[in-house]
Structure 1
Amino acid sequence: MATKQLNPFTRAILMAKHAWAVFRAKNTPRHVKLILGIGLLYIISPWDIIPEWLPVIGVLDDFALAALLISWAGGFETDGEDSK
């Protein structure tokens, strides 16, 4: 059975929604929720390891962390009702 390929933007949105569903699922372990929450706080925080005023790498570290967390959360299952 052939499946339709999604464009990268749509795929990223779906992965972010899944990460949110993993965060909200009741069966997700606390350490996973803690890591996702701390990662989100780091991304939105004004304090960074690499400051944003550096031309490319300042923003790249936030995007890399977001991609890593979303990809990592993709390995966890949700209980079905939260994944809508």
Structure 2
Amino acid sequence: MRTLLFLVLYWLRLPIVGLLSILSVAGLFGTLFALYAFPEKTAMVWGIGSLSFLSFAVVYGYDFLLMKLSPLPMVDTL
């Protein structure tokens, strides 16, 4: 069951990680632009920055989950 779950998640990795990575980089540039163009709108800056960081964290967690589920040992100690 573990190997089947790993294979399905690994198969879905490219679209999920690809889209979230694009969102993360676009959010980073959007945050920097919003800081420059709209310094008085702090809610917008924090919202875009939070979205960017959250998408980065999901990508990191997704890859970590794949390493934990891998049929071959990839993570020794954590």
TM-score, with structure 1 as normaliser: 0.42
Structure (1/2) with the larger helix percentage: 2
Choose between structure 1 and 2 for higher RCO, CA contacts under 8 A separated by at least 6 residues: 1
Larger Rg: 2
